[in-house]
Amino acid sequence: MRTLLLAAGLGTRLSPLTDSIPKCLVEINNKPLLDYWIELLVKGGVTEILINLHYLHEKVRSHLAKHHLGKNITCVYEEELLGTGGTLLKNKEFFANEPVMLIHADNLSHFDLHAFIQKYENREKEVEITMMTFNTTNPEECGIVELDERGIVVAFYEKIKNPPGNLANGAVYILSPSVLDYLSRLGKEEIDFSTEVLPHFLRRINTFHNEVYHRDIGTLESLTAARREFPAISA
């Protein structure tokens, strides 16, 4: 399965750490976030990885050349950020009309990749996206999802006050080729995945629940927590 790792973010909330390094190279216990994902994917049998770059892109390329030489990794530079949907669309040919795993590389996650893929492969007939979910301790800062009795997404609550629950979108997906076809029909280059894509596929998204570990490394507080928690989780 081909995978898009999103690594173009500016990481402004992690300043001053990200004044000199891109967010995807911020380290959790002496290993960059990007490396955790690449190792998970390679061990899980993912054969082709595409990484989009923007901020301090040359540092990411240098890191990959030094630490991941020989792996089937392709980098694409975005001079202007296109949004997640725009990046998918611009690189549609890379995915060769096959399912796409979509990952935000600025999250830290530990889960069974094979089980995640199996959830997609055994999806209900109408399902076109498999989404990872997790339980968050800060629901007002996350995209909260509501499910039916089958685990199908029936509602989204994007960073609202007093959301109905703490089941959050983990921003890790497997997309059917039909999702990229939908992006093509939008007729635009810049596409926001959360507001322009996911709502369109409501009731056609099933879920895989990450019961091990998942955290958005979006703030210095979250980074500190991850550095404290993750050694015990991944041991």
Q: What is the pLDDT of residues 73-89, one digit of tens each?
A: 999 999 999 999 999 99
**What total of structural domains would you count in the chain?**
1
Find the domain containing 48 and state its range.
2-234
- For the chain, what is the mean pLDDT? 95
Helix or strand or coil: residue 49? strand
pLDDT of the residue at 232: 65
Task: Kindly give the pairing relationship between strand 167-175 and strand 100-104.
Answer: antiparallel
What digits encode the pLDDT tens for the residues 161-192? Answer: 888 899 999 999 999 999 999 999 999 999 99
Determine the Cα–Cα distance for residues 73 and 1; give it in Å rounded to an integer. Answer: 13
**Residues 114-134: b if buried by 16+ CB within 10 A, e if exposed:** eebbebbeebeeebbbbbbbb
pLDDT at 56 exceeding the cut of 70: yes
The enclosing domain of 111 has a CATH number of: 3.90.550.10
Q: Where are the beta strands (DSSP E) in the chain?
A: 2-6, 48-53, 73-77, 100-104, 107-110, 129-135, 143-147, 153-158, 167-175, 205-209, 213-216
